[in-house]
Structure 1
């Protein structure tokens, strides 16, 4: 069940930004060039985080690190959803 929740959250997260990007640009009054950081930050941390989490899962166990990943993802999503400013939105992303 936990695996299903993680896969669902990941798919929802990457799929929601494309359609929501015009509304985010309008809401935070940012131009499309600055708004592209929503994608860039996600990809950057995903690419850096994957090998780091893989190494940590070898050391501390896959289940423990998976639960940590779900917790970090949920925290980031909450920051993104409740952010009053664009920089905080990027941080949560």
Structure 2
């Protein structure tokens, strides 16, 4: 079953931590990627069903903005990424996150 991808980029670690926490609590999603982007920017990516990802990203944006000094720079949702996108970008379910997979 294809899984949507949701990504949030924030300025500062507290905002990305709050966003990631809110996303995994708001929907049946799996956190598949987290990393620093540049200049204090952080990325977090989740996978799950489209409706769940939409709900989770909305909650993550709200939480990231409410974190002290938090700023959500951008966000994006891909409802059904193609296989070549999954093969190149680090958004697939890895062995590390498989135990937390929601479906």
**TM-score, length-normalised on structure 2?**
0.28
The structure that is helix-richer by fraction is 1
Between the two structures, name the one with larger relative contact order (CA 8 Å, sep ≥ 6): 2
**TM-score, length-normalised on structure 1?**
0.30
Larger Rg: 1
